[in-house]
């Protein structure tokens, strides 16, 4: 087992003092450290429970991404953003039925997952070019607000019974901003990464890290972001310590090409997402940007939004073939759509979890300070949801807000894979080339008023408790209608007969 713990100082030029760090034998301690934190653990096959091992052997690669439902700050180099909830990207072994994937996902994360089998429930990932064919084959999404079942699974199946530190570390996942799992059949390792944008307490991180076993490697970094020499790069400086080998934190400074970047200081854009009212069954999602801040980071960049749509909502791809319609919505093109896009089917007959869509959206060319915010509209459609009892005719559904980013091409020869903090398989990154850089536009901290990353809608639904009234009312209407028609026919025939008699 290998550990890599990285603290990213919130303000590298602020009040940090090296005296806040201490190394004593097998113990590394920090005190009141105001920083983001990433904990990366590499597990071998012999350290995994049997049921998990058997599942991974059915996978060529498996990538799981979970993000919380409220805004959090992504400090460099952890700039990548994925939508809130549980995302699974998966490629099966050839000629192997991945029958264990859905059962283990339900057991580890939630038994409520809409997951029967990858063949029935997952959607295929589009390949826009053969150059991008390294992406996973299938994708899955589920709204999962908390990781309680995951914490319980780790404590019961992975932690040694006598290891209280393992239990405590598992509990900290409940406050994580995101958690990743990565497996591929070549390395035969499972990599787990958790990121916290800040300490659970306002005073900062105060903790002691101990090496529990002699054969475990723990590398600890306390780093701050610095101005890079090239715009494709990120640069970090600070202290590194290998627990058990170093008797003090050692100074370090290094730079590397990066796939994910923060926005440059001259273009500090954010966005708000909301639904235009009234919503009805054809809601329009509106993205609002401060016009003066929505500037191109570098020449050649294009602005995109990536949607993850549960099965109760879909996009009509045919509506985006009209250039005039696209222009009125401030959309340049629908670049990709995959998953369940049936225009007529109700939600309760849909087997797949939903669909994804990538839009290239327009941005302003002028930046007059007195002009209104820049608004982009995305028309969506709701499916009829399952009838239920005691709903008063209404049901609540949700949609994760989209990821918004600038996609820019890096220079020839740039190798993103040398980034020790690289994060891939986020869904949208597989739709671009290997040398694409992403400048992420974060959601407003008060986005839509609350900083939440989930949109809620109320939709009409058949209330089964009142369905009898509808049924009997329909029968009565049919009977009355037939009676009226028969009466009219009778009166006409009677009049004709009377005239003939005369």
Share of the chain above pLDDT 70, in %: 93
pLDDT band at 391 (very low <50, low <70, confident <90, very high): low
Whether the predicted pLDDT of 270 surpasses 90: yes
Instruction: Judge if 222 and 320 occupy the same domain.
Output: no
Instruction: Judge if 283 and 424 occupy the same domain.
Output: yes
Whether the predicted pLDDT of 187 surpasses 70: yes
Please identify, among 256, 280, 300, the residue that sits at the C-terminal boundary of a domain.
256
What is the pLDDT averaged over residues 85-92? 96
Match 């052997």 to its residue by tokens.
Answer: 57
Share of the chain above pLDDT 90, in %: 69
- The predicted structure's pLDDT at residue 466: 65
Quick: pLDDT tens for 340-365.
999 999 999 999 999 999 999 999 98
Q: For strand 85-92 and strand 189-196, is the pairing parallel, antiparallel, or unpaired?
A: unpaired
Query: Does the residue 90 lie in any domain?
Result: no
State how far the Cα of 463 lies from the Cα of 167, in Å rounded to an integer. Answer: 45
DSSP 452: B
Instruction: Judge if 389 and 487 occupy the same domain.
Output: no
pLDDT band at 131 (very low <50, low <70, confident <90, very high): low
Q: CA dist 291 to 364, 371, 445, Å?
A: 7, 7, 17
Query: Does the residue 442 lie in any domain?
Result: yes
Query: Does the residue 328 lie in any domain?
Result: yes
Neighbours of 194 (CB within 10 A): 20
Instruction: Judge if 482 and 457 occupy the same domain.
Output: no
Residue 67, beta-bridge partner list: 85, 178
State how far the Cα of 192 lies from the Cα of 429, in Å rounded to an integer. Answer: 20
Residue 275, beta-bridge partner list: 285
Worst-scoring range by mean pLDDT, 50-64, 97-111, 294-308, 462-476?
Answer: 462-476
Match 């970090």 to its residue by tokens.
Answer: 236
Instruction: Judge if 248 and 304 occupy the same domain.
Output: no
Instruction: Judge if 430 and 493 occupy the same domain.
Output: no
Please identify, among 232, 256, 280, the residue that sits at the C-terminal boundary of a domain.
256
Whether the predicted pLDDT of 502 surpasses 90: no
Whether the predicted pLDDT of 144 surpasses 70: yes
Strand order in the sheet with 205-210: 21-24, 27-33, 205-210
Instruction: Judge if 489 and 405 occupy the same domain.
Output: no
- Mean pLDDT, rounded, of the chain: 90
Quick: pLDDT tens for 227-240.
999 889 999 999 99
Coil, strand, or helix at residue 208? strand
Instruction: Judge if 357 and 477 occupy the same domain.
Output: no
Instruction: Judge if 278 and 301 occupy the same domain.
Output: yes
State how far the Cα of 299 lies from the Cα of 284, in Å rounded to an integer. Answer: 31
Whether the predicted pLDDT of 43 surpasses 60: yes
- Is residue 443 classed exposed, middle or buried when 0-12, 13-18 and 19+ CB atoms within 10 A define those classes? buried
Query: Does the residue 476 lie in any domain?
Result: yes
Query: Does the residue 420 lie in any domain?
Result: yes
Number of domains in the chain: 3
What is the pLDDT averaged over residues 398-419? 88
pLDDT band at 139 (very low <50, low <70, confident <90, very high): very high
Whether the predicted pLDDT of 433 surpasses 60: yes
Instruction: Judge if 434 and 484 occupy the same domain.
Output: no
Quick: pLDDT tens for 221-267.
999 999 999 889 999 999 999 998 899 999 999 999 999 999 999 98
Query: Does the residue 150 lie in any domain?
Result: no
Whether the predicted pLDDT of 61 surpasses 90: yes
Strand order in the sheet with 354-361: 260-261, 436-441, 403-409, 302-310, 354-361, 331-339
Query: Does the residue 76 lie in any domain?
Result: no
- Tokens representing 281 are 């069954």
- The predicted structure's pLDDT at residue 129: 56
- The predicted structure's pLDDT at residue 134: 59
Q: Mark residue 103 as left, alpha or beta (left: phi above 0; alpha: psi -120 to 50; beta: remaining).
A: alpha
Quick: pLDDT tens for 108-120.
999 999 999 999 9
In 164-301, DSSP assigns E strands to 178-184, 189-196, 205-210, 217-226, 233-242, 250-257, 260-261, 272-275, 284-289
- The predicted structure's pLDDT at residue 474: 86
- The predicted structure's pLDDT at residue 499: 74
Query: Does the residue 154 lie in any domain?
Result: no
* Highest-confidence segment of 94-103, 325-334, 338-347, 381-390: 325-334
Domain holding 476, by residue range, is 465-501
Instruction: Judge if 280 and 225 occupy the same domain.
Output: no
Instruction: Judge if 290 and 392 occupy the same domain.
Output: yes
């Amino acid at each position: 087992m290998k550990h890599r713990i990285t603290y990213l100082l919130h303000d590298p030029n602020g009040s940090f003092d090296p005296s806040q760090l201490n190394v004593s034998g097998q113990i590394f301690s920090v005190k009141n450290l105001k920083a983001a934190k990433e904990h990366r653990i590499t597990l071998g096959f012999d350290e995994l429970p049997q049921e998990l091992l058997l599942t991974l052997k059915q996978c060529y690669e498996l990538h799981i991404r979970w993000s919380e439902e409220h805004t959090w700050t992504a400090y460099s180099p952890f700039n990548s953003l994925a939508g809130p909830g549980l995302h699974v990207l998966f490629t099966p072994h050839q000629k192997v039925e991945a029958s264990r994937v859905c059962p283990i996902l339900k057991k580890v994360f939630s038994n409520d997952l809409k997951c029967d089998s990858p063949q029935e429930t997952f959607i295929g990932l589009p390949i826009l070019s053969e150059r991008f064919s390294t992406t996973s084959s299938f994708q899955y999404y589920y709204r999962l607000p908390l990781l309680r079942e995951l914490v319980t699974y780790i404590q019961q199946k992975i932690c040694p019974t006598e290891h209280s530190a393992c239990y405590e570390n598992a509990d900290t996942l409940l406050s994580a901003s995101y958690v990743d799992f990565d497996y591929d059949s070549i390395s035969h390792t499972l990599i787990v990464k958790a990121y916290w944008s800040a300490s659970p307490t306002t005073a900062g991180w105060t903790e002691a890290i101990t090496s529990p076993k002699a054969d475990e490697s723990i590398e600890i970094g306390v780093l701050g972001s610095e101005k890079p020499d090239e715009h494709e790069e990120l640069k970090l400086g600070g202290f590194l310590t290998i627990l058990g080998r170093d008797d003090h934190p050692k100074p370090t400074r290094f730079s590397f090409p990066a796939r994910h970047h923060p926005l440059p200081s001259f273009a500090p854009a954010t966005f708000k997402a909301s639904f235009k009212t009234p919503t009805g069954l054809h809601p329009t999602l509106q993205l609002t940007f401060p016009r003066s801040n929505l500037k191109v980071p570098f020449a050649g960049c294009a602005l995109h939004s990536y949607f993850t749509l549960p099965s109760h909502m879909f996009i009509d791809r045919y509506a985006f073939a009209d250039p005039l319609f696209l222009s009125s919505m401030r959309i340049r093109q629908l670049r990709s759509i995959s998953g369940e896009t049936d225009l007529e089917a109700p939600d309760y007959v849909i087997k797949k979890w939903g669909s994804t869509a990538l839009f290239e959206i327009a941005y302003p060319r002028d930046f007059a300070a007195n002009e209104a915010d820049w608004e982009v509209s995305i028309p969506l459609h709701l499916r009829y949801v399952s009838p239920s009892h005691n709903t008063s005719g209404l049901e609540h559904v949700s949609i994760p807000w989209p990821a918004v980013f600038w996609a820019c091409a890096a220079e020839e020869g740039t190798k993103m894979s040398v980034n020790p903090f690289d994060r891939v398989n986020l869904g949208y990154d597989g739709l671009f080339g290997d040398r694409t850089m992403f400048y992420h536009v974060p959601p407003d901290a008060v986005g839509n008023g609350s900083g939440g990353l989930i949109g809620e809608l109320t939709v009409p639904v058949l209330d089964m408790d009142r369905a009898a009234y509808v049924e009997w009312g329909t029968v009565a209407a049919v009977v009355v209608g037939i009676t009226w028609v028969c009466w009219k026919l009778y009166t006409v025939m009677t009049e004709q007969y009377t005239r003939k008699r005369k």
